[in-house]
Amino acid sequence: MKLWAKLIKNEKIIQHGTVEVENLNTFSGITKAFMDVAEEMKIPTPIITRTSAQFFFDFNSVRFKQEDFVESIDFDYLFIERA
């Protein structure tokens, strides 16, 4: 399965890419998948909570804003969805 990740700044996609992932059926699988996305995009890893994972399970997408990152980011948000 693939995830499509987009970095959005001023309502425009400034970077995007897809990442092949194995297991999206558990919280640990989602956590690893989101960490792989961050590594592939060369950005800090967002704080992944049960709420964000549940949102992904329910809606097949999730958005991470500045408050979801420990480090400072130079984009408005990271949007991840099933590809």
pLDDT at residue 1 tops 90: no
Residue whose C-alpha is closest to residue 21's, from 37, 5, 7: 37
Query: What is the 8-class DSSP label of residue 11?
Result: T
The reported pTM is: 0.91
Q: What is the pLDDT of residue 6?
A: 97
Residues 6+ apart with CB under 8 A from 62: 52, 53, 55, 56, 79, 80, 81
Return d(Cα 27, Cα 60) in angstroms, integer: 14
CA distance 53 to 71: 20
Q: What tens digit of pLDDT does each residue of 70-79 get?
A: 999 999 999 9
78, 66 Cβ separation under 8 angstroms: no
User: For residue range 10-63, what is the model confidence (pLDDT) as tens digits?
Assistant: 999 999 999 998 888 889 999 999 999 999 999 999 999 999 999 999 999 999
